[in-house]
């Protein structure tokens, strides 16, 4: 039996603009998915996912004559997606180990809110590949896990996946993503993130399409996308300098430009203002927007409390930048 874990992530800077070749900086956060894998005698996969949905579900598939439908009341596409990620992770581990036809009992636990844009699926895949490969006696380096996890997300998400989530989850820390090029940013300062979650999930495809329409219709929208890239470049310098006040200012500006591009939401702006009025160094939406999460850079430890009492904030938690990526758990 092997357990591995991998972190979720926030976008410190650059979401949406990254679609157009600008750099972005996702950061791993101290919220993890844990995947426990144990070899079975047969070829079946049995998955227990306690926190992957609110209710949790158990499903067994593979082998002969089994139906891959869980016997619980969770939305079928969600279950299929979750099974897709886990199935894909196991396949990658088997492939890496040169094995085939081995079954596993798999338990998934996650304290990353699902569907919140915090990279929970990437974390499950990354941790799953690591745990299953180790269970097969193979130790993969983080870069290989990131690559293989990306392939899983790419398949499950019909070619719409970004390398950012899986790379960030596998490597940990702050990461620079530009196109297919992903690199870890070294020596970043402590970043005391506070995350606020409105309980909603934005429609990423629709939001990305909306930005594309604006960008194609208006020169100033294309310029705004470029300005986000400029913010990221300034942000890299601020990270290198350890200048957290500057990082906060840049987050605020980044949020405004994302709002201009139409990807904020009432709930996100409400949480952003709550964080700023609680003296956060900066706050912005993270991910595709339209709903989901904001990330604030805390100064006084008041941000968390302020968000907890903000109407429309379903969940607020502290989660520092996590410099560790995927790892084996004892």
Interacting residue ranges for its own copies, rule: CB under 8 A: 214, 218-221, 223-224, 226-228, 230-231, 234, 252-262, 264, 266, 269-270, 273, 276-277
In the complex, minimum distance from the CB of residue 184 to its own copies, in angstroms, rounded to a whole number: 25
How is residue 55 annotated by DSSP?
S
**Whose Cβ is closer to its own copies: residue 20's or residue 61's?**
20
Which residues make Cβ contacts (< 8 Å) with residue 215, sequence separation at least 6? 20, 221, 222, 225
- Residue 131 to residues 36, 65, 118, 160, 234, Cα–Cα distance (Å): 7, 27, 21, 25, 38
In the complex, minimum distance from the CB of residue 231 to its own copies, in angstroms, rounded to a whole number: 6
Q: Taking CA 49 as the corner, what is the angle to CA 46 and CA 51, rounded to the nearest 5 degrees?
A: 175
List the beta bridge partners of residue 25. Answer: 13
**Whose Cβ is closer to its own copies: residue 83's or residue 214's?**
214
Active site residue 42: no
Question: Is 283 within any annotated ligand binding site?
Answer: no
Query: In angstroms, how far is CA 71 from the centroid of its own chain?
Result: 28
In the complex, minimum distance from the CB of residue 227 to its own copies, in angstroms, rounded to a whole number: 4
Asked if residue 145 lies in contact with residue 326, where contact means CB atoms within 8 angstroms, the answer is yes
**Whose Cβ is closer to its own copies: residue 136's or residue 251's?**
251
Question: Is 119 within any annotated ligand binding site?
Answer: yes
**Among 87, 147, 165, 198, the one annotated catalytic:** 165
Return d(Cα 33, Cα 180) in angstroms, integer: 24
**Whose Cβ is closer to its own copies: residue 115's or residue 256's?**
256
In the complex, minimum distance from the CB of residue 205 to its own copies, in angstroms, rounded to a whole number: 20
Question: Is 199 within any annotated ligand binding site?
Answer: no
In the complex, minimum distance from the CB of residue 173 to its own copies, in angstroms, rounded to a whole number: 25
Question: Is 94 within any annotated ligand binding site?
Answer: no
Return d(Cα 56, Cα 51) in angstroms, integer: 6
Question: Is 113 within any annotated ligand binding site?
Answer: yes
- Residue 46 to residues 130, 155, 189, Cα–Cα distance (Å): 18, 21, 41
In the complex, minimum distance from the CB of residue 23 to its own copies, in angstroms, rounded to a whole number: 13
Strands (E), the chain: 2-13, 25-39, 45-49, 57-61, 104-110, 174-178, 181-185, 193-197, 282-286, 293-297, 315-318, 327-329
3-state secondary structure of 301: coil
Return d(Cα 148, Cα 157) in angstroms, integer: 14
Question: Is 114 within any annotated ligand binding site?
Answer: yes
Question: Is 170 within any annotated ligand binding site?
Answer: no
Handedness of CA 197, 203, 204, 206 (dihedral sign): negative
**Whose Cβ is closer to its own copies: residue 92's or residue 224's?**
224
**Whose Cβ is closer to its own copies: residue 69's or residue 206's?**
206
Residue positions forming the annotated binding site for ATP: 113-123
Catalytic residues: 165
């Amino acid at each position: 039996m092997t357990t591995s874990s991998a972190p979720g992530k926030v976008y410190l800077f650059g979401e949406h603009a990254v679609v157009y070749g600008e750099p972005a900086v996702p950061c791993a956060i101290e919220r993890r998915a844990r995947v426990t894998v144990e070899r079975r005698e047969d070829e079946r996969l049995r998955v227990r996912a306690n926190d992957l949905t609110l209710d949790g579900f158990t499903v067994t598939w593979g082998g002969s004559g089994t139906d891959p439908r869980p016997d619980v009341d969770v939305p079928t596409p969600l279950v299929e997606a979750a099974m897709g990620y886990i199935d894909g992770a196991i396949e990658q581990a088997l492939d890496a180990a040169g094995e085939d036809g081995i079954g596993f009992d798999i338990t998934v636990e996650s304290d990353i809110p699902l569907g919140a844009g915090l990279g929970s699926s990437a974390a499950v895949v990354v941790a799953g590949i690591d745990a299953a490969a180790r269970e097969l006696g193979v130790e993969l380096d983080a870069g290989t896990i990131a690559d293989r996890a990306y392939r899983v997300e790419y398949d499950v998400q019909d070619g719409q996946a970004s390398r950012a989530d899986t790379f960030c989850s596998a490597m940990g820390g702050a990461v620079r993503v530009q196109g297919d090029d992903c690199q870890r940013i070294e020596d970043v300062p402590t970043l005391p993130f506070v995350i606020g979650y409105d309980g909603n999930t934005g429609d990423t495809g629709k939001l990305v399409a909306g930005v594309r329409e604006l960008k194609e219709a208006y020169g100033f929208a294309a310029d705004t996308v470029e300005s986000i890239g400029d913010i990221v470049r300034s942000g890299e310098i601020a990270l290198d300098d350890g200048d957290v006040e500057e990082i906060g200012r840049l987050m605020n500006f980044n949020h405004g430009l994302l709002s201009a591009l139409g990807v904020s939401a009432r709930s996100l702006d409400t949480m952003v203002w709550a964080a700023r009025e609680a003296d956060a160094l900066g706050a912005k939406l993270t991910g595709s927007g339209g709903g989901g999460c904001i990330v604030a850079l805390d100064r006084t430890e008041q941000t968390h409390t302020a968000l907890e009492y903000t109407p429309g904030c379903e969940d607020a938690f502290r989660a520092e930048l996590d410099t560790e990526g995927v790892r084996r758990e004892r």
